[in-house]
Structure formats: structure tokens, C-alpha cells
Homo-oligomer: A and B are copies of this chain.
Amino acid sequence: MKIRGKEWRSLWFENGVLKFIDQRKLPYKFEIFPAKNVEDCEYAIKEMVVRGAPAIGAAAVYGMVLGKENISKTAEILRKTRPTAHDLFYAIEYMVDKIKNNEDALNAANGYVEDIIDRCRRIGKTGEKIIKNDMRILTHCNAGALATVDYGTALAPFRIANRKGKKIFVYVDETRPRLQGLLTDWELKEEKIPHVVIADNAAGYFMKNGDVDMVITGADRIAKNGDFANKIGTYEKAVIANENNIPFYVAAPISTFDKKIKDGSQIKIEERERKELTKINENTIMPEWTKVRNPAFDVTPSKYVTGYITEEKIYENLKDFKIL
């Protein structure tokens, strides 16, 4: 991804240290968070120094490198960091297999990450084909390069379309409680793609008014039947898009599909802590007495999905999707 004109990745491994662009500090500060051991990596995933399903997977493979001396313990620690994203578990199993087969851990991890980046680039190329000139597209949360090491999933088609000279305009849901929409805002600004940030409540307003031609989001886990988990609020946007006959696409690499899960009801949803709602950065925005519920994801039934933009092709019908 371009940051002040220079190419970056959201995380990388350098001289035995796993380095992250600290996403908790963005968009205000650009800081690097170094993880020197498994505990640092565990912290980075749990506390959302790194976030986004594919980037969490990438963090996990390097976390396995950091803790390769005791793979079963390392795998156990990392598995407990976040419950919803499938990539995390997929990445850990991948590394357990490789290390057990005596492959070089760092080589295997690098291979995994290069593969993610390549898949995201291909998602961009696949998705770009359905983006027409002058389209206005809504996205939720950040499924950008930050969430996926590079390119992004939902944002990859935007990036490729923009680089090809197509004019697009993006509505970015701010995505409470954590305001990951601001990460998307930052990425689009760096990429010079015109856009606005809106309150999540306003997405329906713009969709109903005919201001949105398409919705593209990422996914944290996709069940065999196409139901998918993604950032809280995605379900609402999908239903509203459907109600207004606006195509709704999910952009995700094949690794996000979880063959073991028949439908969305089997996806475990993480409820996160109170302070995600009551504080923004270090500012307290709700009174002490306020009780909250804070589910971090929701599940959108496949009936609301027009198609799944993958690195292979756009699947409009998962019945011809061989991997499942």
C-alpha cells in the first residue's frame, strides 16, 4: 500500500522481530510495534495492534516462528487471542504442519504471507471487473491493506480500479465502536480515491436515496452455505442493500471459507469489552453508570450476498465452489 508515496505492508518480519504498523495509533500516528516473542504477538492480536482476518493470519504465522521452540504451546496461546476470524486457525494449523514436517519456519511463514498478498492482488483484479466508471460504492469497517498485509480484500478492487483510471466514489461507514472506517479513510486518502465518512446510521439513508451503486465488504469467516461473519453492522448494511436492490459483494480469499462450518449459526461471535464503546482513543464518551453490550461481529445470511469476490473468480453460486 502507498503511504506518503512509499510502499508499505501492515506487518513484516525483520531480523528476528515481527513488526506491525500499530493500527491502534492510526490514523493519528504512524508507529511501528515490534513483537520480539510470542507474548508480544499475542498482545498485538488481542489488543488489535493488528486487526483484519488475513492480517491476523499473517501475524499468527510469524508468531509461530517466534515460538517455534514449543509449537504446541505457541499454537495454544495464539488460538486463544481472537475467536471469530477463520484465518487465525487456518494459519496456525498451516504452521504446525510445516514445522512438524521439518520445514524452515520462517520460509513457510514468508510463503504464507506472500501468498496472502498475491491472493489479495488477484481479488483486486477479479473485483475490479465489476466496478464501472463513476460508481459509488459503500464499504464497512476496514478490509484494506492494513487488514490484509497489502492490497486489502474489499479495498483491493477499489485500488486496482483507481490505478486503472476508473473514477469511483466511496461511502465509508465510520464503523462504531472502534471506528475502523477511519483506517479506510486513511488508506483511501493515501491512494487518492474520493470518499466520505458517514455515521453507520446514515448508510441506509444513502442507499435508499439512490446514492450507492454497490456495497463491498470483507469477511472474517464464511460458512459452507455462504453465510459469513464480518464486523458488527455488516448484517444491517446487507439487508438494507438487498431491500434497495443494490448488489452486495463479499471480498475474501479462499482461506476465509471454513469447510467445517455448515452455516452461520455455528460461527462463534466475540463480545468485546465495555471500554470499546465508552472510550474513543483515551477520551471517555459515556458515563460511568452506562451498561453496554458489545458484540464485535455479526453473521449475514448468504441470501443477501450477490457474489463472493475471491482470488479465483466471483462466485455467485457457491454450489460450483469446489473447495466446499
Contacts and interface: CB of A to CB of B under 8 A. Distances in A.
Interface of A: 27-28, 171, 174-177, 179, 182, 185-186, 189, 195-206, 208, 231-233, 235-236, 239-240, 243, 269, 277, 280-281, 283, 285-287, 289-295, 298-299
A167 to B, nearest CB: 16
Task: Indicate how many identical chains form the complex.
Answer: 2
Contacts of A299: 208
A186 B198 CA distance: 26
Q: Is the interface of A mostly helix, strand, loop or mixed?
A: mixed
- Of A176, A185, A205, chain B has the most CB atoms within 10 Å of the CB of A205
Given A27-B287, A186-B287, A204-B235, 18 more contacts: A28-B287, A176-B200, A179-B285, A182-B286, A185-B287, A197-B291, A198-B294, A199-B200, A200-B233, A201-B231, A201-B232, A202-B233, A204-B298, A208-B235, A208-B299, A280-B280, A280-B285, A283-B283
A292 B206 CA distance: 13
A239 B240 CA distance: 7
8 contacts: A179-B286, A199-B200, A199-B232, A200-B201, A202-B293, A208-B298, A208-B299, A280-B285
